[in-house]
Structure 1
């Protein structure tokens, strides 16, 4: 796991200043505390920060082939590099190191850009071919590793693992993209199709971009996509065995490291499943790491301890204060773009604690997206069945009227909160699901924006991108479409961004075995009743893991990391909430109606409404805007 950066002069071979590249990599030094390097050639500069995981003595980067034709700066891990190396050696390729980086170089020599189709792992890399003056930028299938890029006024392309690397280049214009403010408020993160800085982009997951000096820039090429349109056949027992085989394969392949390795353990289904399979494959006790909270209703550490005892792991745990808002500025620095998933705070803390014991940690991320594990998937699946029974012409007016008349009852037990469901049923599946995954709905955003902002947005809605994704998804059902959209938006934009930034902030490599692309392809082919059944998501996975895990771990309600931000904004952060409306960088942008923000803050602090998620969004947006545009 590392950090990369570079400069490519597309239109000429003018020299690249190595100090400029060095400043870009120094900005992301936390991603690679074990070493750094810069390499330049006419028109090309590559930089690298290294966190040593494989071949500690021989994997320094940027790495060149022996003939110096190809140069590589690489972030990530290739889990099948040993198999690829044997294949390449049989073809006559020779190796000087034992690193996966050198395998990428020789794979490119053998197969060109299509080598990415053979790489199993998480990666973002820049590979330069001096003979053809070509630069290949590539990103893994799911977008586990980030890759930002931008074109400058002089025609050059700059790129890096984090936005802060690009911001070090003096020629990058720092202008905000207002459409991404809209996307951020809608979803709580800036999706991969944009960036808070206008003109900066992210290479999409499952894409590569081949640039040739002196030639027009082509569009990036998609080399992988997840297809939900085919259904696998087989009995439940057969499907369980295949799922288990793929999970074992994914876990085992991610246990290769030349440094201490362990796992995050929350006590939930996913992390417990990973630990169970690690314990099965390991001769030594698995190192597990968890955190608990000093507030009982937020604390899952008892469940983690039970799993640790069950599998005889070397367990490390720590109780942290739920009142941990002191991390806000640290998180704002590491995320660069505004990021409002408050579970980033405990994720940072568990990464920080894990780094005291290991350099690599396996996580359970990805199973919810792959196997329909979120409550919203279960609800959407049920709503889609109702949508199939009634045409939109009847459903829209009927449920729309009922939804408007039904009282809003956030305080009531969940089965009695029918207003949201009724309004969702009045919409198309894509519209209903986009609302379900959103944080701040359109009517509230409209009230928040100033008149000028609403004019500049010209009717643009963040939800439109999700609607298009679902409408064009390679899918057979509404559940397929929802999961596909999550894979394209939520997973890289929220979950993987959160884990990458918090783990890299402390020099820890996080690996996600449940995001192995072969496992995902199988999961996408499962019949719906193998994903959702009886009000349960991840149905087949839970049935499969019954041989390893107790019932109360498998079937207890999903909890996840919870942060008491509502209390913060009525206590230690109350004045901060009040100040957002008037005396901040955000207020000076003119994007928002200050009186409306002040009203929201007063209502929350006075206990009349719970606006904590919105206030958290605005606070994190303020931190980002102040850092970048100041």
Structure 2
């Protein structure tokens, strides 16, 4: 895992290497084990490295081709690099098995279609001096980010948004559409947008080729169909369960490639418990597992140790409990906001930040269960979507997840949002697109390919990488996701949701873990904004910077400050915290 940065010019001027160094320096936490830089005049690249595989013979990044005419920076992990190496030989002699070297060779062999051959999570930038082109690519599920900004006609890119800010000159006005998404979808800003007008993202599953004049051509290189496959029409439920088990085993095995022990972030829920069970079968040594909990608040329990202990005992893991006192949360919240690539208001952000910091003292690589709910239908609105016709997909989703258009508009001063309900329009267009057979298919496609990369995936990547910890997500393996997309919806919503995974759990896990009520990462003090955390929110919303910004209506601000538990989002979060995190993030990143 690493951090990448760079600048490309299109007017004959030299790229600013000082800007690139500043951007790369801000990502020290993502890559504490080394740094590198390179320039050819019109392009400059920077890199920060986190080593989880021995690269002593591989050279650093940026890495160049043998003729020094192609240069690459790479962030991520390619799980099939050994297979690719075998496919590329004997045409290219390899000195090592490093991902970067193999990806570079793949580009030299297949050009911009190299991404079609990669299995893994990655953000890649290639400067091709032969063709006078720059190629940007992002993995299929958007696990690894790539932010973009145009400054003075120059293209800049980096693994984090704050890195772009460090380069200077970025348009930091709030983007009205991005803001509407943030308020509508509980801080999710999906696709290419961010909350800032001058910063965009390369969408998942996209390869972008930029020519020497700045012209761009995008290709979406992967989009699984959410329709039934005639070749599997005769499959029974047991056939599907077996196929999912095989695919998940492969996904877990792929993510064990490292020269350091691989642990698991264990919540005690079904998804992370399945990972522990499968890793325990693969590993000759005890699996390291890590669980975090918080003090109770407002009568709500703050930990799931009861369940994680059952799993740890069943599989003989080396288990670590991390109990965080409420008094530690205000400081942790501010540190977590500093680490956010974009503002993220879900209560578990601070939990992942603290968990990652503790785990990083013992591990460099972990597996995590993110994505299982989106891929295998784990939410209540999935079951609702499973009961309605295809043309009711929008109602099934928007009625339980999206905030109302009038409610969103009531939060901000006039003129700060676009006309119309752009968030609902975005959802409607995505749900109506061909390639999804039922309402549930359409909703799961929306969750997995539009919203998820900028919700749990972005959250985990930001918080783990802030401590130099690499998180791998087996449930987002491209082959597993493709298989699940083709699966009959009834099997996914069976057994009160995630029926296929529960069937697998009944084979591998203690029964009480499979049948337990669905839980979430509980941080009660944040959910209810108790004590000092209410003060953090109040200080952010009433700060001089917030008043000068003039974004939020002051009557709304005062109401949510006075009664934070009375104003909740449709998914149960504190509206006060959602507004405060946006303002706090803007302030802590120096955005006026």
Shorter chain as normaliser: what TM range? over 0.9
Match of 2:486 in 1: 525
CA distance in 1 between counterparts of 2:341 and 2:503 reads 41
CA distance in 2 between counterparts of 1:351 and 1:301 reads 17
Match of 1:429 in 2: 393
Q: Which runs of 5+ in 2 are unaligned?
A: none
SS of the aligned residue for 2:343 comes to coil
Give the conservation status (yes or no) of the 8 Å contact 1:260–1:357. Answer: no
Shift of 1:516: 0.5
Does 2:306 match 1:302?
Answer: yes
Cα 1:514–1:177 shift into 2, 3 Å:
same
**Structure 1 residues 119-518: aligned runs within 5 Å:** 119-153=118-152, 155-187=153-185, 188-214=187-213, 216-231=214-229, 232-233=232-233, 234-295=235-296, 297-322=301-326, 324-382=329-387, 384=388, 428-438=392-402, 440-453=403-416, 457-518=418-479
CA distance in 1 between counterparts of 2:530 and 2:318 reads 40
Higher mean C-alpha deviation, range 564-573 or range 491-500? 564-573
Cα 1:66–1:539 shift into 2, 3 Å:
same
Match of 1:88 in 2: 88
Match of 2:57 in 1: 58
Cα 1:485–1:266 shift into 2, 3 Å:
same
1:191-247 deviation per Cα after TM superposition (whole angstroms, max 9, x unaligned)? 233112213110000001111213x51232110112102343301222221111111
CA distance in 2 between counterparts of 1:628 and 1:470 reads 37
- Equivalent in 516, 533, 541 of residue 556 of structure 1: 516
SS of the aligned residue for 1:462 comes to helix
**Structure 1 residues 67-86: aligned runs within 5 Å:** 67-86=67-86
Give the conservation status (yes or no) of the 8 Å contact 2:124–2:137. Answer: yes
Give the conservation status (yes or no) of the 8 Å contact 1:210–1:218. Answer: yes
Cα 1:322–1:486 shift into 2, 3 Å:
farther
Shift of 1:579: 4.9
CA RMSD of aligned residues (A): 2.0
Does 2:584 match 1:623?
Answer: yes
Higher mean C-alpha deviation, range 550-559 or range 105-114? 550-559
CA distance in 1 between counterparts of 2:533 and 2:374 reads 33
Give the conservation status (yes or no) of the 8 Å contact 1:54–1:100. Answer: no
1:533-572 deviation per Cα after TM superposition (whole angstroms, max 9, x unaligned)? 24x1110121123111122111211112112246753532
CA distance in 2 between counterparts of 1:238 and 1:574 reads 51
Cα 1:326–1:580 shift into 2, 3 Å:
closer
Cα 1:106–1:297 shift into 2, 3 Å:
same
Cα 1:178–1:565 shift into 2, 3 Å:
farther
CA distance in 1 between counterparts of 2:526 and 2:450 reads 26
Higher mean C-alpha deviation, range 229-238 or range 302-311? 229-238
Give the conservation status (yes or no) of the 8 Å contact 1:4–1:47. Answer: yes
Cα 1:253–1:582 shift into 2, 3 Å:
closer
- Which stretches of structure 1, 4 residues or more, deviate above 3 A after TM superposition? 565-570, 573-584, 607-612
Higher mean C-alpha deviation, range 467-476 or range 585-594? 585-594
Does 2:497 match 1:537?
Answer: yes
Higher mean C-alpha deviation, range 570-579 or range 278-287? 570-579
CA distance in 2 between counterparts of 1:11 and 1:609 reads 52
CA distance in 1 between counterparts of 2:401 and 2:292 reads 27
CA distance in 2 between counterparts of 1:577 and 1:346 reads 17
Cα 1:95–1:564 shift into 2, 3 Å:
same
Cα 1:120–1:608 shift into 2, 3 Å:
closer
- Equivalent in 558, 562, 578 of residue 602 of structure 1: 562
Shift of 1:460: 4.0
1:474-493 deviation per Cα after TM superposition (whole angstroms, max 9, x unaligned)? 20111011111111332111
Cα 1:573–1:279 shift into 2, 3 Å:
closer
CA distance in 1 between counterparts of 2:9 and 2:369 reads 40
CA distance in 2 between counterparts of 1:616 and 1:149 reads 28
Match of 1:33 in 2: 32
The count of aligned residue pairs is 579
Cα 1:380–1:325 shift into 2, 3 Å:
farther
Shift of 1:149: 0.8
Give the conservation status (yes or no) of the 8 Å contact 2:81–2:97. Answer: no
Cα 1:572–1:140 shift into 2, 3 Å:
same
Cα 1:297–1:574 shift into 2, 3 Å:
closer
Give the conservation status (yes or no) of the 8 Å contact 2:171–2:199. Answer: no
Does 2:112 match 1:113?
Answer: yes
Give the conservation status (yes or no) of the 8 Å contact 2:33–2:49. Answer: yes
Match of 1:400 in 2: none
Higher mean C-alpha deviation, range 106-115 or range 299-308? 299-308
Larger gyration radius, structure 1 or structure 2: 1
1:4-31 deviation per Cα after TM superposition (whole angstroms, max 9, x unaligned)? 000111343x322322211110011110
Give the conservation status (yes or no) of the 8 Å contact 2:330–2:536. Answer: no
Match of 2:46 in 1: 47
